[in-house]
Copies of this chain bind each other. A is one copy, B any other.
């Protein structure tokens, strides 16, 4: 396998970064190849804008998705976007490594998706969900957060974590065709002991060693919907 890790933490000594390093080493020991997009280290620009395209098909009315399709076809995408697209194209598995900011991803990672998941390649026309452009590839989240396990779930103080992750897991990754593996979630990270952190690292190593056996999460199959996307 070839693996891309997209990492979004500003502190190289953070536990989030330690988990990213764990994944990299574990995969390399298993004989896989690993590539990392360390968004903070790259000073990645997360703002989707006109500057993302060498030329505009509609200069008087800027429509981002339309310009993505045009620029992808003409090979007029900004070089930093093109580079990231090629990393995704090379990968069999894409891992998103981040701390949960406001029950979601940090802006620098959101912008990586906004700019890199271009219309015309990742999705377009009838190519979405199990017909999406990234079908055949896997994706997974590795995230750290401050809350405790029991604070999430139906009836809990914050409600189900899956709802907060649905924009990324369902509305983005499954939408473009990835098989989305169950996320690896490290709870209560800023408050736990070094020993408990070490236990999480060991759990993550086991998760990574068994990754081939993990069943993807179940999302939409287009075969269950008609042409107007009404349920059959």
**A residues at B contact (CB < 8 Å):** 10-11, 13-14, 40, 46-50, 60-65, 101-108, 110-111, 113-114, 117, 129, 148, 150-151, 155-159, 162-164, 166-168, 170-172, 175, 190, 220, 222, 225, 228-231
Measured CB to CB, the nearest residue on chain B to A225 is: B157
Q: How far is the CB of A217 from chain B (nearest CB, A)?
A: 12
- A110's partner among B13, B63, B110 (CB-CB below 8 A) is B110
Measured CB to CB, the nearest residue on chain B to A44 is: B47
Enumerate chain B residues within 8 angstroms of A40, measured Cβ to Cβ.
47, 49
Counted per complex, copies of this chain come to 2
Rounded to whole angstroms, the CA-CA distance of A13 and B61 in the bound complex is 7
- A164's partner among B10, B61, B171, B220 (CB-CB below 8 A) is B171
Contact B229–A148 (Cβ < 8 Å): yes
Enumerate chain B residues within 8 angstroms of A155, measured Cβ to Cβ.
231
Enumerate chain B residues within 8 angstroms of A49, measured Cβ to Cβ.
10, 40
Q: How far is the CB of A139 from chain B (nearest CB, A)?
A: 13
Measured CB to CB, the nearest residue on chain B to A146 is: B65
Measured CB to CB, the nearest residue on chain B to A157 is: B229
Rounded to whole angstroms, the CA-CA distance of A104 and B46 in the bound complex is 14
